[in-house]
Structure 1
Amino acid sequence: MGWRENQLLLSCGKPSGRTGSRRPPLASGQSPLYLLARAYRTGGPQDRFRRIDDRTHLPSAPERPTMPPLPDDRCGCGSGLRAVRCCRPTAVEPPSAPALDRIEARTERAADAFDRGDAATARRLCLKILDEAPAHADALTILACLLQISGPAEAAIAVLQRIRHLRPDDLNTTLDLARQLLRAARLPEAQAQARNAVRLDPGNPTSHAVLAMALTEGHQPHAGEFHYRQALALAGADAVTLANLAWNLKLQGRIDEARALYRQAAALDPAIFLTWLGWAQTEEAGRGLDTASRLLARARRIDPGHPIGGFEAALLGRQGAPEAALAVLEAAVGLDPAGLLEKGRLLDRLGRHDEAFAAMVAAKALIRQQGQGYAEPEASDLIARLGGFFIAPRLRLLPRPESPAAGAQPIFVTGAPRSGTTLVEQILSAHPAVAGGDELPALAQLVHRLPRLLDSPLAYPEALSELWMGDQRDGLDRLRDEYLRRARKLVPFRPGNRLFTDKMPFNELHLGLIALMLPAAPVVHVLRHPLDVVLSMMSHNLTHGFQCAADLETAARHCARVFELVGHYRREMPLRYLPLRYEDLVQEFEPNVRRLLDFVGLRFDRRCLRFDKNRRYARTASYAQVTEALYSRSLYRHRNYMRHLEPVIPILEPVIDSLGYSV
């Protein structure tokens, strides 16, 4: 079978060998999703050249052919084309009839070279064709195949987008574009293309599997679960899709169901490394540390060369062996950001603070190199507009909800990441009346859809001005009901739950909207010394807050902006608001737990004092800490890092003073 029958199926080809390959390390909390779906079509003879491992985030490095250097006039995207024939196109005359014959002959030679595995010849011929005929679909297709193997990913995406423009109904192009966008962590775009694939062929299991991956990676695991189950219904049970679904259920906190699916996946194909690794990570999340160690050892036997030091170190650290964990990481070569951050946390635990901070800084530098940086213009613009809209004279003109909301109601646990919000949620969800919702995306989704729901030409928050119109007087009821509908779908309710927590970090940005829609909803704002907050944000890879945690100073600036906005809300409108200091909670635990429960309208329950016995899996970076009994070792941790935190003290000093802390 030649390239024409397999075009754009590179990432759906036959799985490559399962042992001995070198792949990127998977650290604690990193998804082991088989980012490329199971092969529903088999590959051809070019597989020796074109395989992309079905079970990893990136192609195996040794299989990438080496390409010759490119001249300076080539496009910066890396496609190999001249810029005027790629991302900065100029007008070009259609080829003449003789030129067309020459182009078609070159295309046949390029296809033959591709099938033989001669990447250099195929690429050289494609570049010649596309220099003369930039919209030649077959040459673009061969080039896209080559770029998906050899990279760079951005070049593959650029070429696939051009092919999709030429052939908008081509399913294989759409699927490959979705996969490449997933590889590049461009999740909204990946999801859009995966949705297109399902629209093009709702009976295709690969379409559903790729959309399931995009939804799961994009923090919508409940929707992703539906599409994994559709893929299984259409194609039958297979080990890869079962393991992907298991990981999805793990992200939903459904540990027992995930465990059962991993057993099925391992029984169907016991030689898949990532099935055992994902199962080990699931057991670690469910507190089965010894079982996780046994499963990790099984994975090691399948693929001894696979670098999994990050997760292995995290597991050893949880088992009380930080020195052994650190030794694993120090023996590793080329740690990724997750491994470096794990190393930083271990060094901190061992009291080696300067080395710990250096590891954090190195990790953040790599994260920024990968394109994750603070979206400061967007953040500062939104915060300024929120402050400008939510002012008392304007708010007095807005209607209030016309009817009370029915059903389970939210408790908003707000605060910066790593401020203690997970601890507060774990305390609350230990109460029999409260379901733990974790980091619900429902409010952010509502904000995104709000202009459309109110039929407004304006963006949020200005779109709320539609509520002054006579035909939108019930708008707050509709917004509230839409939020509740979305949130309740994501919460694992138990019998007796009449409240649920919404703990998305930085939800305090939207205190104004919360107070309008749900004026009776309690808002618990967890406060912690700002220097402790930004230090802890440095030790984790967090995307909340417009990815402000990619750098120490941007984390400080964003936190300062948000604190200022919260103060504005409190001055301009009534809020059912409880500021709760993490330090007070830790040092005077029971009195503050009683105060917390009284604020949300619940009777005291001693189970809330034993939050570490709460068996629910907290789906956040703090999931391991809240399984431990209350400890105070994190209080004022910034004092060990004052030399490193000096640049952000002037940024945070006004907030520190206003909250009653000191430097």
Structure 2
Amino acid sequence: MGDHHTDQPLADPLAAAAHGRRLLADRPDLAALQAQEILSANPHFPPALRLLGAARRALGDDEAASEAELAAIDASTGDAELIQAGAALVANELPVAERILKARLKADPFDVAAIRMLAELAARIGRLQDAENLLRRAMELAPDFGGARANLATILYRQNRNVEALDLLEGLSDESGFGLSQRNLRAATLSRLGGYDEAIALYRDVLEKAPKQAKVWMSLGHLLKTVGNQEEAVAAYRQSVALQPDFGEAWWSLANLKTVRFVDADVAAMQSALGGDDLAPDDQLHLEFALGKAAEDRRDHDAAWAHYAKANRIRAAQLRHDPDQISKAVDRAIALFTPEFFAKRQGWGCPADDPIFILGMPRAGSTLIEQILASHPQVEGTMELPDIITMSRELAGKDDQGMGADLYPEILADLDADQIAALGRDFLDRTRIHRKEGRPFFIDKMPNNWMHAGFIRLILPKARIIDARRHPLACGYSNFKQHFARGQSFAYRLDHFGRYYADYCRLMAHLDTVQPGAVTRIIHEDLVDDPDSRIRALLDRMGLPFDQRCIDFHQTERAVRTASSEQVRRPITKAGLDSWKAHEPHLDPLKHALGHWLQDWTAPSPA
């Protein structure tokens, strides 16, 4: 090596590797020689392997670079510090792991294995943006590191950035060591994007290779339910609980079909699972919800309420909903969206009329309205799209955990006409992947978009907005007996639901005042009582010609992702409309929280 290396002593291989790093920018050939000299004495020294990889990549030899980079990661698995950090992660001793990993990266910022472990720690505590940044750095240093690629896809999936996640998963091969897990994640991602048939095929392939996976059987059941294959969905859920009898979510998935009636053996199995040692809270709450459904089907109303109440107490404690936050957000929206605000921005926004937003409360009949409209040849039903909520969070300056600045909705007042129009186009761009059928109109059925109805009206003034509304006691009870996969934290206490419902009515009444006629309100009870005339009126309000298929909506074959998927595949029935009345003695907290909205819930703008 001689003069080229200024006699850098190899007695200290870490110092020698650091010296090689300094050579990288100008003389990668010399850096490679330095790495090889270190490796001749210590063939598995990770810093030297990383140096060799970086040098080979700078010299354009990507294959040799990848070999060295991956060898460095493999060599790091035997490192005492990383083993200690890994043990701390396994034991959930996160401060210990963080201290070790940060010290490690301060000494060697190119240690890809340590970077990936720190990303895992960040993801564990909900700092998804930090985890993403770390994993992108890991992939920059070792582009063929399948572990970092798979982890990054998971982080993007958790942020609802499904197209990006899918692109990353395309680059993973079975040879990378992530065959089954990447198939699972790919299937879950595809299902979010409406690729149900491909997702089902992937889950079947996974289960053919590894059939004893209760969670994967459940995931397959979810997709089979979505596409309307109820018989196979039931079989998949049954297989899941056969493999794991205390798997509460799989039992609840059976109950959530709404069409399955549990037999005595099912009830006994669930009760036995509830009595097991070390039952996880999530399994317990799902079992309680499922047993509540079983009791309700048997008209044992006291037992049903007892099970639902236990389930809700567990879930409410987990979520810690703050109703004051919702009330303050509604106050801010009402203060911003005045007649003067909209008058000043007349003619602004993206002029596209493609979207139909169905919003309101969960379990208020929105899936029925969607099924009716999606039966029309000009309208495509998609799913509950997260994009409006994501856009509002980005405008607010919040991170993926809702932390940070809180600039929304007031920031909208600072945007000019071009920026407002761009937001409308951005929504159309984000949602285009969900439009598979090329129809002129499409539905976004996210109920929580009611909070952003003013925002929608601003950026997409020609979009149609439907407010799906149901009697507050019927809706409240229906939510109370429903476990939601995510979100809807207000639904697990009756008083919280009442506050939320009242705030929702309050904001929608305000919009009726400042933008008369912008929102079409559909009362669920009216639709069920007189479907033919109400459907005709709805089509007319949407500017759509009458089509008999909308009356015969239950014959429409399409994917439906919500809890009402099986109900909308049958004709409209009045059964269940008054089921709340059997539990009315328990509903006083809901009534009190509703205030005057208990009487005024159908009124567009009560005094």
Shorter-chain TM-score range? 0.7 to 0.9
Counterparts in 2 of 1:97-496, with a 5 A limit? 138=81, 144-151=85-92, 155-156=93-94, 158-163=95-100, 165-166=102-103, 167=105, 169=109, 170-179=111-120, 186=126, 189-190=127-128, 192-201=130-139, 202-232=143-173, 235=176, 238-270=179-211, 272-295=213-236, 304-305=243-244, 307-308=246-247, 310-312=249-251, 314-315=253-254, 320-324=260-264, 325-333=266-274, 334=279, 335-370=283-318, 372-401=319-348, 404-405=351-352, 409-450=354-395, 459-467=407-415, 472-489=416-433, 491-495=434-438
Return closer, same or farther for 1:458/1:358 CA change in 2, 3 Å cut-off: closer
Cross-structure match for 1:131: none
Give the Å deviation of 1:379: 2.4
Residue 305 (structure 1) shift: 4.8
Using the aligned pairs only, state the percent identity.
Answer: 26
Q: 2-side partners of 1:336 and 1:296: how far apart?
A: 17
1:586 has 2:586 as partner: no
Normalised by the length of structure 1, the TM-score is 0.69
Q: 1:356 to 1:192 in 2, by over 3 A?
A: farther
Deviations along 1:524-547, one digit per CA (max 9) or x if unpaired, are 111101112222222223487772
Residue 412 of structure 1 and its aligned partner are, at CA, apart by 1.0
Counterpart residue number, 1:659: 601
Question: What's the offset of the Cα at 1:487?
Answer: 2.2
Q: Distance in 1 between matches of 2:77 and 2:430?
A: 48
Match of 1:87 in 2: none
1:395-432 CA deviation, whole Å, 9 max, x = no partner? Answer: 32235327733xx7101111111111111111111111
- Name which of 555, 568, 573 aligns with 1:613: 555
Distance 2:315 2:294 in 1: 19
The range that moved more, 255-264 or 216-225, is 216-225
Change (3 A) 1:45 1:438: closer
Partner of 2:57: none
Q: Is the contact between residue 386 and residue 446 of structure 2 (CA under 8 Å) also seen in structure 1?
A: yes
The change in CA–CA distance for 1:441 and 1:272 in structure 2 (over 3 A counts) is: closer
- Code of the aligned partner of 2:288: L
Q: Secondary structure at the match of 1:509?
A: helix
Match of 1:510 among 439, 448, 452: 452
C-alpha distance after superposition, 1:487-544 (max 9, x if no partner):
223x23314x100111111212222222222222211111101112222222223487
Q: Distance in 2 between matches of 1:178 and 1:351?
A: 50
Structure 2 residue ranges without an equivalent (≥5): 1-44, 47-71, 398-404
Distance 2:431 2:411 in 1: 22
Q: Distance in 1 between matches of 2:505 and 2:176?
A: 51
Structure 1 pair 190/336, CA: closer, same or farther in 2 (3 Å)? farther
Tell me, yes or no, if the aligned pair for 2:350 and 2:461 is still in contact at 8 Å: no
- CA drift of 1:344 comes to 2.0
CA contact 1:400–1:516 (8 Å) conserved in 2: no
Shift of residue 297, structure 1, vs aligned partner: 6.1
The CA RMSD measured in Å over matched residues stands at 3.4
TM-score, normalised on structure 2? 0.75
Q: Is the 8 A contact 2:261 2:297 kept in 1?
A: no
- Within 5 Å, which residues of 2 pair with 1:509-658? 509-542=451-484, 547-658=489-600
Cα distance in 2, alignment partners of residues 313 and 546 from structure 1: 17
Question: Any unmatched runs of 5+ in structure 1?
Answer: 6-39, 47-107, 112-137
**Alpha carbons of 1:554 and 1:477: their partners in 2 closer, same or farther (altered >3 Å)?**
same
- Deviations along 1:7-31, whole A, 9 cap, x unmatched? xxxxxxxxxxxxxxxxxxxxxxxxx
Matches of 1:291 and 1:398, distance apart in 2: 52
Deviation for aligned residue 1:143: 5.6
How many angstroms apart in 2 are the aligned matches of 1:502 and 1:313?
26
Whether the 8 Å CA contact 2:115–2:135 is kept in 1: the answer is yes
Say whether the 8 Å CA contact 1:532–1:637 is kept in structure 2. Answer: yes
For residues 224 and 181 of structure 1, the distance between their equivalents in structure 2, rounded to whole angstroms, comes to 18
Take 1:332 and 1:402, find their aligned partners in 2: how far apart are those partners? 55
Return the index of the structure with the highest Cα Rg.
2
